[in-house]
Amino acid sequence: MRKTFIFSMLIAALLLNFSCNNNADNSKLKAPKDFLWGVASAAYQVEGAYQADGKGESKWDFFANKMGVTQFMIGVKQTGNIAINQYDRKQYLQDIKLMKELGVNTYRFSISWPRILPQGTGEVNEKGIAHYKLLIQDLKDAGIEPMITLYHYDMPQVLVEKGGWNNRESVEWYKNYATVVFNNFGKEVRHFITFNEPYIEFFLVDFMLNPMQSKESANVRYSKEILSVHHELLASAEAIKIYHNMNLGGMIGITFNLSPCLPMDSANTADVKAVPLQDELLNRIVLDPVFKGKYPENALAAIQKYNPSFKPSVADMQFIASNKPDFLGVNFYAPAQVKADVNAPLGVTWMGNNTDSVKMNTGPFMPDQLYNLLMRIKTEYNNPVTIITENGACFNNHEDTIVNGKINDTLRSDYITRHIDAALKAQKDGVNLKGYCVWSGWDNFEWVAGYTIRMGLCYVDYKTQKRTPKQSYYTYQEILKQQKQ
Ligand code: NOJ
């Protein structure tokens, strides 16, 4: 029971769901010529080669191989040891070809920290540097701009053992890592992202996975572990400062998982009342410090009730707010369905069951919520440059099967079409939107769900590594063709 509950919580945390129709015909809306159209991935989910060329162990190498996280969650041990083999140049050149034919001009991927600093700090692994240099060059030769995430959940395990993101020293470790990245790749790359989804990393790993054996209550653990988010925001601000001082001429942003909060049951007063607090805990907890220099009041009070020592200093808050990102990366999958729940941390949960008739395993299918989210960012956060750094879907894989050599993922195709429409409508209505990336270019290792969840535009046969473009690939290709006309 507990296992099933945790598993569904974790999957929902990663994916989130949607419903609702966006009937407006926005198909004629055009993005500006310099709009970034891309696909996204992350090192641990695609690279494989987990011990190649001097790479150190990452937090996820440890989780998958030694803790057996997927064994516990899906009953079978799966790892990113091979993943979709993208560390291999022969393989990634084929993937670049697929991207080129697709028509994207951007590839968002992440650098594996332990690949270039196997011990987290100290000696640089030149083979790791050489790999990414070549990948960047190969992408640019194909006319595809690299957009690099510095950190996508995979801290070197040696640093995790020193306390990870809960240790304030992590800010210094990350500064050192970021400097190595900018020194080596800063001249070639126009878009960097400091962190991917600090909240989800905290929730999934620090709160739910790491301390499974802990005897402390969920309220106490939640309120203690949230410090990791504060440290990631500080580390991000430090990296932004370093990057700006280097005058490299590109842009640096940060990516958040953002989900409009809706009451699970709008007739239930307790659910309705829970919405503002959940919004603070899920969205404003990261947006407000970065754009307003303070944590949202009710979330702070709820956290301090169980952890009175969570008191970020004025100096920290000023530092975060005075080193703002050049752009905000938005990962949007679905709105959060909020329930008041005395058993959930701080009395609220954002993962109610998906009641939508379209069975996305991420939640209700609601493109208009992407529109609302973008408009809210414009109004409440002073219209920052915004890039949708992830948007995608999976539907229990029932449409991800090859039939006569084809994959007719019509629901995913529809999802992408409607979300692009919603995004371009928001742009027409004044949102400073500069890019959109689909998660993901290829099916890949989906954290606690391993290979049981497919979210790619290309189907991957994990035994042979063969890629087969799905219908959604051709749908996105057609949208991009129309955009270029
Ligand atoms: C967000 C995460 O950034 C990515 O790593 C994950 O695979 C997708 N969500 C889908 O769950």
* Residue pLDDT, tens place only, 327-352: 999 999 999 999 999 999 999 998 76
C-alpha–C-alpha distance, residues 179 and 163, integer Å? 22
What per-residue confidence (pLDDT) applies to 12? 58
- Atom 5 in ligand 1: residue holding the nearest Cα: 42
Q: Given the CA of residue 197, which atom of ligand 1 is nearest to it?
A: 3
Segments in 307-437 forming alpha helices (H): 314-322, 367-380, 410-428
What per-residue confidence (pLDDT) applies to 13? 62
User: Which of 59, 152, 331 best tests ligand 1's pocket when mutated (most atoms within 8 Å of CB)?
Assistant: 331
Q: Spell out the domains of the chain, with CATH numbers in brackets.
A: 21-484 (3.20.20.80)
Q: Given the CA of residue 196, which atom of ligand 1 is nearest to it?
A: 3
The reply to whether ligand 1 has any atom less than 6 angstroms from the CB of 42 is: yes
User: Which of 259, 361, 440, 447 best tests ligand 1's pocket when mutated (most atoms within 8 Å of CB)?
Assistant: 447
**Coil/strand/helix, residue 176:** helix
> How many A from CA of 284 to the centre of ligand 1?
20
Q: Which long-range contacts (CB under 8 A, 24 or more apart) does 24-31 make?
A: 24/421, 24/425, 26/421, 26/422, 26/424, 26/425, 26/428, 27/417, 27/421, 27/482, 29/421, 29/424, 29/425, 29/427, 29/428, 30/424, 30/483, 31/424, 31/427, 31/433, 31/436, 31/483
> How many A from CA of 318 to the centre of ligand 1?
30
Residues contacting residue 332 through CB under 8 Å, at least 6 positions apart: 258, 259, 369, 370, 373, 388, 390, 391, 419
- Omega of the bond leading into 440 within 30 degrees of 0 (cis): yes
- Atom 1 in ligand 1: residue holding the nearest Cα: 14
**Coil/strand/helix, residue 428:** helix
The reply to whether ligand 1 has any atom less than 6 angstroms from the CB of 446 is: yes
The reply to whether ligand 1 has any atom less than 6 angstroms from the CB of 390 is: yes
> How many A from CA of 81 to the centre of ligand 1?
18
> How many A from CA of 329 to the centre of ligand 1?
13
CB 474: neighbour CB atoms within 10 A?
Answer: 14
> How many A from CA of 23 to the centre of ligand 1?
27
> How many A from CA of 407 to the centre of ligand 1?
22
How do residues 390-410 score in pLDDT, each as one tens digit? 999 999 888 999 999 999 999
Q: Catalytic amino acids?
A: 197, 390
What per-residue confidence (pLDDT) applies to 11? 61
Q: Of all helices (H) and strands (E), which one includes residue 135?
A: helix 126-141
Q: Given the CA of residue 446, which atom of ligand 1 is nearest to it?
A: 7
For the chain of 485 residues, list the mean pLDDT of each consecutive stretch of 10: 52 49 60 98 98 98 93 93 98 99 98 98 98 99 98 98 96 99 98 98 84 78 96 99 98 98 95 98 98 98 98 98 98 96 93 77 92 98 98 90 94 97 98 98 96 97 98 98 96
> How many A from CA of 216 to the centre of ligand 1?
28
Residue type, 420: I
Q: ∠ CA(118), CA(157), CA(332), 5° rounding?
A: 100
The reply to whether ligand 1 has any atom less than 6 angstroms from the CB of 336 is: no
- Atom 7 in ligand 1: residue holding the nearest Cα: 446
What per-residue confidence (pLDDT) applies to 125? 98
Residues contacting residue 393 through CB under 8 Å, at least 6 positions apart: 18, 333, 360, 362, 365, 411, 412, 415, 416, 455
The reply to whether ligand 1 has any atom less than 6 angstroms from the CB of 11 is: no
The reply to whether ligand 1 has any atom less than 6 angstroms from the CB of 154 is: no
- Atom 6 in ligand 1: residue holding the nearest Cα: 14
The reply to whether ligand 1 has any atom less than 6 angstroms from the CB of 360 is: no
User: Which of 197, 203, 390 best tests ligand 1's pocket when mutated (most atoms within 8 Å of CB)?
Assistant: 390
Residues contacting residue 388 through CB under 8 Å, at least 6 positions apart: 329, 330, 331, 332, 370, 423, 433, 435, 436, 437
- Atom 9 in ligand 1: residue holding the nearest Cα: 14
The reply to whether ligand 1 has any atom less than 6 angstroms from the CB of 196 is: yes
> How many A from CA of 171 to the centre of ligand 1?
24
Closest CA to 104 of 461, 471, 439: 439
What per-residue confidence (pLDDT) applies to 17? 35
What per-residue confidence (pLDDT) applies to 361? 80
Dihedral angle sign, alpha carbons of residues 173, 175, 181, 184:
negative
What per-residue confidence (pLDDT) applies to 22? 40
